[in-house]
Amino acid sequence: MATLFTKIINREIPGDIVYEDEHVVAFRDIAPQAPVHIIIVTRSEIPGIAALPTTGDHLHLLNAAKKIAENEGLDNGYRLVINQGADGGQTFDHLHVHLLGGRQMAWPPG
């Protein structure tokens, strides 16, 4: 069964898509945790970091994050978050990166 993210990628459900290429799709989070909160997902359904293959779409996540941050004007900085597993806060079994910015980030998170 397709993940929620795959349904957004395939335009089966709506998403505010801000970037896409042949490897990744990025869209605004529907419950943002910062002024800019964008989810960057692999086109292929990789369940998470623990299941990373040695090649594939996931290799393009960080390059896409850099491009999107520049497009969003996050010149003062931003945070990238990848959650793995239930204890790590992962809620969708589809590899994705949270791009958070537009304000000073606190540390430690969560």
Give the tens place of pLDDT for each residue, 63-91: 999 999 999 999 999 999 999 999 999 99
Q: Which residue has the tokens 């990789």?
A: 46
Per-residue pLDDT at 110 exceeds 70: no
What CA–CA distance (Å, rounded) separates 76 from 25?
24
What is the structure's pLDDT at 57? 87
pLDDT at position 108 is 84
The catalytic residue among 58, 94, 96, 98 is 96
Catalytic annotation on 96?
yes
Sign of CA dihedral 6, 10, 13, 15: positive
Which pair of tokens denotes residue 29? 């989070």
Q: Does residue 47 have a cis peptide bond before it, meaning omega lies within 30 degrees of 0?
A: no
In 3D, which of 69, 92, 96, 93 has the Cα closest to residue 82? 96
Per-residue pLDDT of 3-52, as tens digits, reads 999 999 999 999 999 999 999 999 999 999 999 999 999 999 999 999 99
Residue showing tokens 């089966």: 12
Closest CA relative to residue 49, chosen from 21, 90, 87: 90
Cα 65 from chain centroid? Answer: 8
